[in-house]
Structure 1
């Protein structure tokens, strides 16, 4: 068997990711992208977080966090507050509307998980995640 080319590998990863994201987000009642969902979920976990901390934790650029958070604020999913002691410091918190869309995403995500990833065994899912992490760490450390 011939070794796949780098282009085949990258193309297949891209196709799987794109198809997965499209399939997942098309079931949402509101137009919200997967990056926004990821940011919103992290804001909820943190209760209150700084944009720079979000960027570091999620591996996004500061400008991406700014663009995503502006869309989330415009939609009413997050609120921006200033630190009482230092007005230059800004925090994001999730709103009731943000919690509601995340609940919808969770339900959709569980259905999606059952539908799409049921083709893989639990062991294969763990292996898949391990392989993705290994590749990501290798790419980041190069």
Structure 2
């Protein structure tokens, strides 16, 4: 077998990621993107946070966080709360609808995980995760 080219590797990774995201999000009852679900999940972990915290924690640009959170507010999944001492500070928190969406996504995600990743043994799955981490660390370190 010939060594794959850089473009073949990138293309394969992109195809797998895109197929994963499309199949998973198509199973949800309401249209929501994977980045929005990641943001919702992080807001739930933090309970209440500022947009800059999300940007730093998730590695998304501030403008991306702004766009995503505006969509989430419009969809009533999160709400803005102003700091009573400094109205320039905005805090984000989940609404009941946001919690419901996350529960649905987690349930579907578990089913999807068990179906799709069942083709890998536990050892292969751990190796896959470790390879992804190793590549990500190299990419982050080479900036």
What residue is the counterpart of 1:48 in the other structure? 48
What residue is the counterpart of 2:84 in the other structure? 84
Moved more, 83-92 or 24-33: 83-92
Distance 1:125 1:84 in 2: 47
- Please, what is the CA RMSD of the aligned residues? 0.8
Deviation at 1:134, TM superposition (A): 1.0
The C-alpha deviation readout for 1:46-69, integer Å capped at 9, x for no partner, is 100110110111110000000000
**Correspondence list, 1:99-138, <5 A:** 99-138=99-138
Moved more, 34-43 or 78-87: 78-87
| TM-score normalised by structure 1 residue count | 0.97
Distance 1:42 1:24 in 2: 19
Deviation at 1:105, TM superposition (A): 0.5
Distance 2:114 2:16 in 1: 17
Deviation at 1:125, TM superposition (A): 1.3
What residue is the counterpart of 1:58 in the other structure? 58
What residue is the counterpart of 2:75 in the other structure? 75
The C-alpha deviation readout for 1:104-131, integer Å capped at 9, x for no partner, is 1011001100110111111211111111
Task: State the SS of the aligned residue for 1:65.
Answer: helix
Deviation at 1:38, TM superposition (A): 0.4
Deviation at 1:88, TM superposition (A): 1.4
Structure 2: which 5+ residue stretches go unaligned? none
| TM-score normalised by structure 2 residue count | 0.97
Distance 2:79 2:122 in 1: 38
